Structure 1
């Protein structure tokens, strides 16, 4: 499957983007002072907004959830925090704006020459996305794009991804 994209919302239905943006709640001082947490779970509380988000990702070839991956005939490979996946895993440590963390992927979930898209709820410093890209590339996959619901532009996370295209629904300063 060839997937192409760009890093803008040009041509995207502004009404859907506005509904998605309105469903995101900001929690200042979480998880620590100086951080403003962008909580996207409000999208899931409103079925029509969730449908907007999924529709936009599907229209552009992205998989916002395992259900959509199934719907379009693609495999879904979860990347999770340590000790959440059974079996043998590989891991990647990364930096956050408020510390460090690690993600893991099951060995064998991705095969050499698989084409992959990394989907996350938010891009801040780019640490999580970079770790995901590194895990997938270590397994032999080619990461063709990253997609996020929200981008915190002031943290310049997309710059860490080099030439990998990034698609974002809602950009914040």
Structure 2
């Protein structure tokens, strides 16, 4: 499927929800895309192509879990769930960061998963301000891994998230 075909597919399956999760936010919901078998397969293939060379996939809580697991299967790697704060049993490594509408914390297990020297691609559904993906990259770095790439389905280009991720390579399947 071409880049244009993927972008058209994503746009045709995306719905916009006004004032969610707070007034003034225009939430881009990709749930219809993920519920469509052909759409999910096409997006998974495109994200996996962008992620070649990684030996681990990190999926961001929560929609990044769906995509990250699918991409990991395509690449033949493992997947690491990067969770929202308070969802994992201790001990954890954590990173707190700014969102466009508040603050949040990401966590990964502090033990049980060897990250030192791993080349990790970070997968999520949407790139907005870049705070979540940048926090995930920092968190992985604190554990000795190298975030080599970030790949997302949708980029909200006007919010400048790509700039917050420099020098990390970023792939978005649709930028609006």
Shorter-chain TM-score category?
Answer: 0.7 to 0.9
The structure that is strand-richer by fraction is 2
Could you report, residue by residue, the CA deviation over 1:123-144 in whole angstroms, capped at 9, with x for unpaired residues?
Answer: 1111101110010000011111
**Residue of structure 2 in register with 1:152 after alignment:** 156
Aligned pairs, number: 162
Higher helix share: 2
Question: Which one of 127, 131, 135 corresponds to residue 135 of structure 2?
Answer: 131
Out of 95, 100, 125, the residue aligned to residue 92 of structure 1 is: 95
Segments of 5+ residues of structure 1 without an aligned counterpart are 1-10
Aligned-residue offset at 1:110: 4.1
Whether 2:28 is the aligned partner of 1:38: answer yes
Q: Report the alpha carbon displacement of residue 160 of structure 1 after superposing the two structures with TM.
A: 1.0
Q: CA RMSD in A?
A: 1.7
Larger displacement relative to structure 2 (76-85 or 64-73)? 64-73
Secondary structure, aligned partner of 1:84: coil
Asked if residue 24 in structure 1 is aligned to residue 14 in structure 2, the reply is yes
Q: Hey, what's the Cα distance between the residues in 1 that align with 2:104 and 2:96?
A: 6
Give the Cα–Cα distance (whole angstroms) in 2 for the partners of residues 59 and 160 of structure 1.
23
Question: What TM-score do the two structures reach when normalised by structure 1?
Answer: 0.86
The ranges of structure 1 where at least 4 consecutive aligned residues each deviate by more than 4 angstroms after the TM superposition are none
Q: TM-score, normalised by structure 2?
A: 0.85
